[in-house]
A = this chain, B = another copy of it.
């Protein structure tokens, strides 16, 4: 019997989950019964056998332990059932976003973001091409990205399920994805910086999407020799203004702060008491830039000399005012607060952080920040109250070479916790625990935040980078589940050649002891970070309505086609084809043009039934769009090659799907 999960059922189930221990005794008597709803006598092992006998035989046959069976039963979703959470993970250098269900760990969707993806028609039609073109660098298309940190939009520090933001490390771009339809609607490109890493992260009401640079370079695409690194190379942190109504980043209302040439790394926005501040850890205060062929040590050692690097503490509310007051310089089209101004206005402070750290993670109550020293075994717990006090009192331990005040380390922290080898990222649950990934030790450490004491470690396979907890970056994490995003799979999966998948491992953190539940290969891409949101918060639409909607604008397109209004018109700018798609034909299905003519296709899927998607492709023209129910697409191209080209529906739509075809005829001159 399919398991349908209403919201009530889900809440009930969650409460049941928590009642597990007491139920154990009560449930022992259930063993004897036959079980309800068994569809298959063999499965149940015949009358009176119950699940037990058959189960034991299966376990023996498949070499499974009790713990394996428990994990299987904790993660399995029967047909028609629903996952409880959705993971939104970056795809890394696939340039995409990956959506995964928890606890089943099934991938439900890959979202095209920076890389053209034809199944969704992303980058093969006018509207999506326009989105991608906004990502051009110096006027040239860059059709891939290195996505790292997805950020769900937040309201009062809680994921609200409306939007997702994602960065491109390699080419310094940010994208906005609408979670009504899981479509990328906007890409913005900074011309100020060359790369980013600590992006995207949002302020608690998504006022801003934050993007700091990573590898320093001259700002605004200028040139300077590498030897002038200290003098000419800089970083910057961009605050992209987000307009929730419009569902767009507003470039004109965005601004940036210049930063010294350290490698800004990861960001977290303050919340609650720390709302108004943004924290960015960094490394390479040594300002090493390698030069392996010229006798310099490689960056990996050059950047690892110092015992401390700098946690950047940025007062963005104050910076907003500085921008409003006009104390900026417009560089590469963006209002930039110069470093000197930032220092004068007290916008930027540094706090030492041990040894090439990676990750800054604010506690759910917004009072403390944990920074883990990649090359140091400790997690350092900073107190926002202390830091704010030091800033207000101008209690400095000195300044960096760029005049940025440095706060005293010991006075900034509450304490440190010895975590293990290679601690990186910290997540939180609803019981005062921190969970930190230990890359070198290949484990996750669970520790008591108040007591600064490690409680347990669970091995992971292998070498975990980020971890993500359910609702983990919000003011109220759920606990329950943690995902370890391991970098090396080595021997976990069937061999598929020298390029191995990554390994996501689902861990049950609901009990006293962590339990490994599920290994999941990432078949495409290299996720870095992910966020996990309760699936109930996502309000995806089933169809576009009324018909004729452009998914990029969510407005009815000016060129939409109503049934009965199909036509072909020759205008000054070319041949306009107004076409409808419905099961199982296009109208028109025969299009005749002359060699060299410009063709403008306007196609509306006039269906309104859920899942009634049609594709539209023309052979040899590099055209394929996906038309969801009610969706409209425009496709412009030049018919520069004569011939007879089949056109057809690419998404299996009906019994007569193969007959949903026609011809595009280009008559030679």
Beta-carbon contacts of A455-489 to B below 8 Å, as 1s and 0s?
A: 00000010001000000000000000000000111
Knowing A116-B116, A617-B93, the reply to whether A519 touches B77 (Cβ < 8 A) is: yes
Report the Cα distance A62→B17, complex, angstroms.
Answer: 8
Beta-carbon contacts of A67-100 to B below 8 Å, as 1s and 0s?
A: 1111111111111111100100001111100110
Question: Is A496 at the interface (CB under 8 A from chain B)?
Answer: yes
CB distance from A348 to the nearest CB of B (A): 22
B68 lies within 8 A of A3 (CB):
yes
Beta-carbon contacts of A216-231 to B below 8 Å, as 1s and 0s?
A: 0110011111100000
At the interface with chain B, which of A179-187, A201-209, A317-325, A339-347? A179-187
Question: Is A392 at the interface (CB under 8 A from chain B)?
Answer: no
Could you give 16 example pairs across A and B, Cβ below 8 Å? A16-B60, A17-B62, A24-B57, A41-B513, A44-B66, A71-B78, A108-B523, A124-B144, A170-B646, A194-B643, A217-B646, A223-B668, A226-B663, A298-B584, A497-B628, A498-B630
Report the Cα distance A220→B396, complex, angstroms.
Answer: 78
CB distance from A19 to the nearest CB of B (A): 8
A69 lies within 8 A of B93 (CB):
no
Beta-carbon contacts of A99-124 to B below 8 Å, as 1s and 0s?
A: 10100011111100001111110001
Given contacts A40-B513, A69-B72, A223-B642, 16 further A-B contacts (CB under 8 A): A13-B61, A44-B70, A55-B55, A71-B76, A80-B461, A82-B493, A94-B118, A107-B523, A109-B499, A110-B524, A137-B619, A138-B643, A146-B650, A194-B646, A292-B588, A300-B660
Give the residue name and chain of the B residue nearest to A586 (CB).
B292
Report the Cα distance A303→B589, complex, angstroms.
Answer: 14
CB distance from A91 to the nearest CB of B (A): 7
A587 lies within 8 A of B54 (CB):
no
Give the residue name and chain of the B residue nearest to A551 (CB).
B498
Within residues 115 to 135 of chain A, which ones have a CB less than 8 A from any CB in chain B?
115-120, 124
Residue among A20, A63, A140 with the highest chain B CB neighbour number at 10 A: A63
Knowing A109-B523, A513-B42, A652-B528, the reply to whether A619 touches B67 (Cβ < 8 A) is: no
B655 lies within 8 A of A440 (CB):
yes
CB distance from A395 to the nearest CB of B (A): 31
Question: Is A644 at the interface (CB under 8 A from chain B)?
Answer: yes
Question: Is A540 at the interface (CB under 8 A from chain B)?
Answer: yes
Within residues 38 to 66 of chain A, which ones have a CB less than 8 A from any CB in chain B?
38-46, 49-66
B64 lies within 8 A of A69 (CB):
no
Question: Is A641 at the interface (CB under 8 A from chain B)?
Answer: yes
CB distance from A535 to the nearest CB of B (A): 5
Beta-carbon contacts of A269-290 to B below 8 Å, as 1s and 0s?
A: 0000000000000011000011
B143 lies within 8 A of A116 (CB):
yes
Knowing A13-B61, A643-B194, the reply to whether A24 touches B49 (Cβ < 8 A) is: yes
Question: Is A568 at the interface (CB under 8 A from chain B)?
Answer: yes
Knowing A61-B13, A218-B644, the reply to whether A661 touches B66 (Cβ < 8 A) is: no
Knowing A23-B60, A93-B624, A497-B182, the reply to whether A299 touches B521 (Cβ < 8 A) is: no
Knowing A67-B39, A119-B526, A294-B590, the reply to whether A521 touches B82 (Cβ < 8 A) is: no
Report copies per complex: 2
Report the Cα distance A499→B538, complex, angstroms.
Answer: 15
Residue among A35, A66, A142, A511 with the highest chain B CB neighbour number at 10 A: A66
A180 lies within 8 A of B109 (CB):
no
CB distance from A278 to the nearest CB of B (A): 20
Chain B hits for A74, CB < 8 A: 58, 62
Knowing A70-B51, A490-B610, the reply to whether A659 touches B524 (Cβ < 8 A) is: no
Give the residue name and chain of the B residue nearest to A650 (CB).
B93
Give the residue name and chain of the B residue nearest to A181 (CB).
B497
**Which among B34, B289, B494 is the interface contact of A590 at CB below 8 angstroms?**
B289
Question: Is A597 at the interface (CB under 8 A from chain B)?
Answer: no
Residue among A118, A263, A586 with the highest chain B CB neighbour number at 10 A: A118
Secondary structure dominating the interface of A: loop
Report the Cα distance A496→B588, complex, angstroms.
Answer: 31
B622 lies within 8 A of A498 (CB):
no
A181 lies within 8 A of B223 (CB):
no
Residue among A68, A109, A181, A498 with the highest chain B CB neighbour number at 10 A: A498
Within residues 486 to 511 of chain A, which ones have a CB less than 8 A from any CB in chain B?
487-501, 505, 511
Chain B hits for A619, CB < 8 A: 137, 170-172, 194-195
B56 lies within 8 A of A27 (CB):
yes
Chain B hits for A291, CB < 8 A: 589-590
**Which among B17, B93, B290, B524 is the interface contact of A109 at CB below 8 angstroms?**
B524
At the interface with chain B, which of A397-405, A406-414, A541-549? A541-549
6 closest A-B pairs by beta carbon, nearest first, are: A35-B66, A72-B76, A118-B144, A298-B585, A498-B628, A215-B646
Report the Cα distance A523→B290, complex, angstroms.
Answer: 41
Give the residue name and chain of the B residue nearest to A439 (CB).
B655
Give the residue name and chain of the B residue nearest to A665 (CB).
B226
Residue among A77, A95, A653 with the highest chain B CB neighbour number at 10 A: A77
CB distance from A371 to the nearest CB of B (A): 15
Chain B hits for A566, CB < 8 A: 292-293
Beta-carbon contacts of A614-651 to B below 8 Å, as 1s and 0s?
A: 01010111101010111100000000011111101011
